[in-house]
Structure 1
Amino acid sequence: MPRANRHYVPGYIWHITHRCHKKEFLLKFAHDRNRFVFWLGEARKRYRLQILNYVVTSNHVHLLVRDQGATNCIPSAMQLLAGRTGQEYNQRKERKGAFWEDRYHATAIESGEHLLRCLVYIDLNMVRAGAVSHPEEWRHGGYLEIQGQRRRNRLLDLDALASSAGIGSLPALVDIHNEWVQEALRTNDLGRNEAWSKSLAVGSESFVLGTQDLLGAGGKSRNIVGQGDLFVLCEPEESYGADFSLKN
């Protein structure tokens, strides 16, 4: 299996995915998902990690984050998250061996509408998996916090999320976010889209071209695939098919 990419451009928004070793359901118990969320909060405090959304599933996690320009912020945060979650699980279960797959994957996401698309895609993860019928039913994620239904243990930087999405206020963010989620549920627009989790960058053509240039040699060898207003900087082994767009 190829090692997942860890290319970074400081100040960018990143959609990070990380799977449990051999896709095992090592996060199937709420206790272990709670511990991951705890360490996510610690990473936010220790490394000034801006968290825009997240979901912890039974065998993998999604994080939507920004590093605020600090080069080592995301690697340090992910080292803390992966290390402490895995150590605690192995100690509790008297288990040895890897908890996570080799590496996490980071995809650069353009701000504005593309950020909103990725935001909703993350929210709908457990609906796609058939575990719940609505994201509000899965408490190990950012949906409830965005919708103002979580008063304790807040993790998200909602002001940064609204600003990055091009939305002027938090009430407007709540309304637009809810509208997009409800529309996806109504139209059953729940298909898995690997462009959000297996590419190097997703956004407009100018954003993807700019990201390709900033990544240097790591980006020049990658192909750009586009359809409509959505463009993807692909990993070499991915084609993404003819239709990878998430409709609104």
Structure 2
Amino acid sequence: MPRANRHHLPGHVWHVTHRCHKQEFLLKFARDRRLWRYWLYQARQRYGLCVLNYIVTSNHVHLLVRDGGGGEIARSMQLIAGRVGQSYNRRKARKGAVWEDRYHATAVQTGAHLARCLVYIDLNMVRAGVVKHPSEWEASGYREIQAPPDRYRVIDEQALLDTLEIGSVAELRECHRLWVEEALASDRASRDEWWTTAVAVGDRSYVDEVHRALGVRSPGRHVEQTGDTAWVRDDGASYGVDQRF
């Protein structure tokens, strides 16, 4: 898979989005979404990928990860995309790309902005009108956070506690549930484009810090702000507005 339009700043949390080739619904069957999650689990086992949240939709995926600085994000995305694509093509007796050649990554500030991103991911299929509540969608981190499976867990609970600045798993689950319920009852369930088109999202000081760290790699980009949320738009982001399904 060719190098994606993404940036590596170790220690940061990244919201990664990757869509199917030509936005086709190649993940419309549950078996393919489960396979993607299986290889996500394998990526955690093999490379130490630190997973904070995820959702697999019918034509794209969202993944929230913390970068440990060892190149594990790139290696994990290559592993997952490669194995899922091979399996799909073999089963369908088809040739050709299953994924877009590039995934997009947005740096997300820890704390309150990370909580908003977490909920944004959770509500993906609600925004699409497929389900009324994220608990109804199997291939999602929401279900794993609220009711962890006995085996094959992919979400790192301790890392999630640390990045959200929460003291216990019980508190995490209650806060997470309330954040989602509040979003469902307000316009925060709507799509905010910066989560999938920006280089970085957070408060102004955080975004300025990331912008400076990128240096010459972010020419012509300017910080924008809505309320307490600032972001730097990624001019090279290939994701359009229709990522909902």
Report the TM range for the smaller structure's normalisation: over 0.9
Which stretch of the first structure deviates more once superposed, 123-132 or 149-158?
Answer: 149-158
Length, aligned pairs only: 235
Q: Give the partner amino acid of 2:189.
A: L
- Match in the other structure for 2:7: 7
Query: Where do 1:99-248 residues align within 5 Å?
Result: 99-236=98-235
Q: Deviation of residue 4 (structure 1)?
A: 5.6
Does structure 2 retain, via aligned residues, the 8 Å contact 1:15–1:64? yes
Does structure 2 retain, via aligned residues, the 8 Å contact 1:115–1:165? yes
Q: Deviation of residue 152 (structure 1)?
A: 3.2
Q: Deviations over 1:161-207 (max 9, x none)?
A: 01101111111111111111001112253211110011100001111
- Match in the other structure for 1:92: 91
Percentage identity across paired residues of the two chains = 54
- Match in the other structure for 1:241: none
Does structure 2 retain, via aligned residues, the 8 Å contact 1:48–1:67? no
Q: Deviations over 1:187-228 (max 9, x none)?
A: 253211110011100001111111011112112431110122
SS at match of 1:40: helix
- Match in the other structure for 1:42: 42
| Alignment root-mean-square deviation, CA | 1.4
Q: Give the partner amino acid of 1:204.
A: D
In the alignment, the residues of structure 1 paired with residue 187 and residue 112 of structure 2 have an alpha-carbon distance, to the nearest angstrom, of 20
Q: Deviation of residue 114 (structure 1)?
A: 0.4
Does structure 1 retain, via aligned residues, the 8 Å contact 2:5–2:236? no
SS at match of 2:188: coil
**Any gaps of 5 or more consecutive residues in structure 1?**
239-248
Q: Deviations over 1:123-168 (max 9, x none)?
A: 0000011111100000101001111353332110011101101111
Moved over 4 A (4+): none
SS at match of 1:215: helix
**Any gaps of 5 or more consecutive residues in structure 2?**
238-245
In the alignment, the residues of structure 1 paired with residue 29 and residue 84 of structure 2 have an alpha-carbon distance, to the nearest angstrom, of 13
SS at match of 1:216: helix
TM-score computed with the length of structure 2 as normaliser: 0.92
Q: Deviation of residue 237 (structure 1)?
A: 6.6
Q: Deviations over 1:59-98 (max 9, x none)?
A: 000000012221x211111100111110110011000011
In the alignment, the residues of structure 2 paired with residue 34 and residue 93 of structure 1 have an alpha-carbon distance, to the nearest angstrom, of 17
SS at match of 2:189: coil
- Match in the other structure for 1:243: none
In the alignment, the residues of structure 1 paired with residue 149 and residue 74 of structure 2 have an alpha-carbon distance, to the nearest angstrom, of 28
